[in-house]
Amino acid sequence: MKQNYINGAWVDGATSSANINPSNTADIIDHYAQADAQQAEMAIAAAAAAAPGWALSNIQMRADALDKIGTEIIARKEELGTLLSREEGKTRPEGIGEVARAGAIFKFFAQECLRLRGDKLPSVRPNLDVEITREPVGVVAIIAPWNFPIAIPAWKIAPALAYGNCVLIKPAELVPGSAWALAEIISRAGLPNGVFNLVMGRGSVVGQAFLNDRRVNAISFTGSVSTGRMVAQTAIGRMAKVQIEMGGKNPLVVLNDADLATAVNCAVQGSYFSTGQRCTASSRIIVEKNIYPAFVAAMTEKLAALKIGDALAAGIDIGPVVDQSQLDQDMDYIRIGRDEGARLAFGGERITGATQGFFLQPALFTDCSNDMRISREEIFGPVASVIPADSYEHALALANDSEFGLSSGIVTTSLKYATHFKRHAQAGMVMVNVPTAGVDYHVPFGGSKGSSYGSREQGTYAAEFFTTVKTAYCGV
């Protein structure tokens, strides 16, 4: 059984749970500890005790530790990528790529340790100097989702440690393996006891303990809209700093002048790769009417050529849905789409493979409207809606007509429309002639409206959340 890591030691949980391979439900990867409220409190106490010393720790020591972590992650990317794909279900090449990204994130923030900037300004009053510096927030609780089980923990843990914070992480219950492997690497990086703590367990137990405890100064959460709203309300209720990343219903606009091959590639990759289980997936494809018939025909041809199966098998394009609950949700929305009058142009059927897994043929709905539930609610699976648009202006209005605002894309050969769209799309990230899903590790990640709350993640902008600003005056 894989244990929790609390105050520099590996400890058994109150109970344990099995980690099951969604490509083959007979394959149990391992059993992982499940903490109770008492163990969560132990981790909080350890982090709070370590926080003052770590906040003042040597920046070169922090940099060396993070670089060591990143180096080992990258060296083991094939091994860890295989584990990731085995427990989450994205294809092995995708899993390896995610692990490499996690390693790069740690290496990026190793250097950020040495670049924490401030300001020295003259005062408007005589004989005064003013210094503005950034200091760590303190104890940061991280609640991570299941769809990126190593990259998202990495892009939260690395900046938290780089800027001198102590970390409590609760990974998603569905995918503890990748987080445990990452924690095992971190445990050998030379950090003082209590600086980093892995607490696996139920959100209602471990997550709630983190939310309620006043020794936890900040909470970084990625997950569902309903849980995110609860996290925000609880954190704000006790004046804790909070960063929330939630859902998306991301549009991909395809204009009449678009290169058809580019448009289809963007739509298929953005909508269906990683089994559509990405908050940046383009689940609304808004297509101008003149190119609409050719686009739908090309999409169905492309989808028919995709191979769906065991995430670890060679040549597979799309792996399984993560678990039975998610599969049931996807199938429910496929039924809802049919009932709403959308045309199921391709897929949407369960697939039986050589092993018992949660395989689903990608579903493409056409002749949709933007007020259908399948066009407004996040499905989080390989299901996309194609919505006709009369013009660019109509397409832009449809794209912005959503409670979400994470990622928004356009495919066009027009500089005029591309430039206008970048300015007027109501989203935190805008993509031109590339899929809506897929971002660099050194630039900000986050959205607007109901998709995000609080400071951006990743890159140098991560300092906004993981530090607090202090202004100091000194008489001279």
Token couple for 306: 């995709």
Among the options 266, 279, 378, 457, which is catalytic? 279
Torsion angle (degrees, nearest 10) of CA 69, 72, 78, 81: -20
Count Cα atoms within 13 angstroms, Cβ side, for 108: 23
* Dist. CA 476–CA 468, nearest whole Å: 26
Element (H, E) at 122: strand 119-122
**DSSP type of residue 275:** G
The residue type at 257: D
* Dist. CA 398–CA 253, nearest whole Å: 9
Which of 213, 67, 59, 207 minimizes the C-alpha distance to 144? 207
Classify burial at 97, counting beta carbons within 10 Å of its beta carbon; exposed 0-12, middle 13-18, buried 19 or more: middle
Sorted by sequence, the CB contacts under 8 Å of residue 223 that are 6+ apart come out as 143, 145, 172, 245, 246
**Collapsing DSSP states into helix, strand and coil, what is residue 426?**
coil
Instruction: Report how far apart, in Å, the C-alpha atoms of 252 and of each of 259, 277, 354, 435 are.
Output: 14, 16, 35, 8
Token couple for 227: 């849980």
Instruction: Report how far apart, in Å, the C-alpha atoms of 366 and of each of 260, 286, 334, 345 are.
Output: 17, 10, 12, 6
Active site residue 279: yes
Count of CB atoms situated within 10 Å of the CB of 3: 19
Q: Phi and psi at residue 12, in whole multiples of 5°?
A: -70, 155
**DSSP type of residue 456:** P
**Among all chains, which residue has been given the structure tokens 């670890």?**
312
106: left (phi over 0), alpha (psi -120 to 50) or beta: alpha
**Collapsing DSSP states into helix, strand and coil, what is residue 345?**
strand
CA max distance for the chain: 79
* Dist. CA 72–CA 64, nearest whole Å: 12
* Dist. CA 397–CA 82, nearest whole Å: 42
Among the options 72, 94, 112, 245, which is catalytic? 245
| Residues known to be catalytic | 245, 279
